Chains A and B, each alone.
Chain A
């Protein structure tokens, strides 16, 4: 379930309330909107940023996981050892 359009709109208009059909920009109906409605171009750009942020978050998460696993290995431990300890 793709949540990118909601995130992009909220990124541009954090206090807005709205609805839309089938992720279609043209169907957006605003219940609460401060200022001008963002253009489709602005929303498309925001969607790219959201996706990049998500990718970055995933990468950061993977990096942190790898670093943690490296530290465990340096101690002679594995993730299974941590599970066995109830961690």
Chain B
């Protein structure tokens, strides 16, 4: 009900008590407006409801209300209704522009000043998350954006002013992972073309800037009935040769049948694969000649070869 001035001894009716109760509960009598409106003193304690398709205003002037008075303002219409300071001062933390189904309480702190407590029903933030582990960050101002979960071992970092998941650099020069393998299957190569020795191992670098230290020791032998024979050895990353002996790694000068020279070749090579994909390293060998039954043998007589791959942080 509108603000009343009661007098001593006045008897309140049931209707007045009901109206007072409604007002106390935030409801009460409602004055529907369809055009812009200027508040009057009789609006104190009532609800002013705007219902217009177009934009409207509700203007607040001085000397109409007392400190402690309040007016409930609602906007039912599709048009924006703006609470406008006329000669009075109106402050708010929220917005004085009310969309449809929004409203608030205009509370007077004096006859010339009011605070508008916006209870507008904001649509809230649209949740950008889609997957377990997602996080939300501001991509620009108050615009939320999704950051998908990173990979195992990654850490949250900042790139170009935005958060992202990244593989830790490892501090430089630190061993990030070690893989190793052994191989004991004898491979005989009677060919002057490079052929797989059977020794291979894959590693998946955690960072494209990492280096891979390749350590290999591989027993092999050269065999020929007569005259000299040599063997070559090369290291490949995938199908790319990254290291190659520039000359025969071992040579014998034989004058008797089935002359054999056995030894162990060692390779230490620091590679820069520049990838985070699985990368396979392997060795290939060949003989300098196949005449007089010349050949080279790797893991000969089932001797064990070793390969160790170490990822070194950049």
Which residues in A have some Cβ–Cβ distance to B below 8 Å? 1, 3, 5-7, 9-10, 16-23, 29, 31-32, 54, 57
Q: A1-B297, A5-B188, A6-B295 are in contact. Are A17 and B223 (CB under 8 A)?
A: no
Q: How large is the interface on B (under 10, 10 to 19, 20 to 34, 35 or more residues)?
A: 20 to 34
21 pairs of residues in contact across A and B, judged by CB atoms under 8 Å: A1-B223, A1-B258, A6-B190, A6-B293, A6-B295, A7-B225, A10-B190, A16-B290, A18-B190, A19-B195, A20-B187, A20-B188, A21-B186, A21-B187, A21-B188, A22-B185, A22-B186, A23-B186, A31-B191, A32-B191, A57-B257
Residues of A within 8 A of B290 (CB): 10, 16-17
Assess whether A19 is in contact with B188, with CB atoms less than 8 Å apart.
yes
Assess whether B185 is in contact with A7, with CB atoms less than 8 Å apart.
no
The 10 A-B pairs at the shortest CB distance, nearest first, are namely A17-B191, A19-B189, A31-B191, A19-B195, A31-B193, A6-B293, A7-B293, A1-B260, A6-B190, A6-B295
Assess whether B187 is in contact with A17, with CB atoms less than 8 Å apart.
no
Cβ 8 A contact of A19, one of B190, B225, B258, B293:
B190
Bound form: Cα–Cα A57–B191 in Å: 27
CB nearest to A15 among chain B residues: B290
CB distance from A34 to the nearest CB of B (A): 13
Cβ 8 A contact of B293, one of A1, A10, A23, A32:
A10
CB distance from B186 to the nearest CB of A (A): 5
Residues of B within 8 A of A54 (CB): 257
User: Is residue B192 contacting chain A, with contact meaning CB distance below 8 A?
Assistant: yes
Assess whether A6 is in contact with B188, with CB atoms less than 8 Å apart.
yes
**11 new A-B contacts at CB < 8 Å, known A1-B221, A1-B297, A17-B290:** A1-B300, A16-B190, A17-B192, A20-B187, A21-B187, A21-B188, A22-B185, A23-B186, A31-B191, A31-B192, A31-B193
With a 10 A CB-CB cut-off, give which of B185, B225, B257, B293 has the most chain A CB atoms: B293
CB distance from B176 to the nearest CB of A (A): 34
Bound form: Cα–Cα A5–B290 in Å: 13
User: Is residue B247 contacting chain A, with contact meaning CB distance below 8 A?
Assistant: no
Bound form: Cα–Cα A18–B223 in Å: 14
Residues of A within 8 A of B198 (CB): 21
User: Is residue B134 contacting chain A, with contact meaning CB distance below 8 A?
Assistant: no
CB nearest to A29 among chain B residues: B195
Proximity bits, B32-50, A CB within 8 Å = 1, else 0:
0000000000000000000
Assess whether A31 is in contact with B195, with CB atoms less than 8 Å apart.
yes
Residues of A within 8 A of B225 (CB): 7
Proximity bits, B164-189, A CB within 8 Å = 1, else 0:
00000000000000000000011111
Q: A6-B295, A10-B290, A17-B290 are in contact. Are A1 and B301 (CB under 8 A)?
A: yes
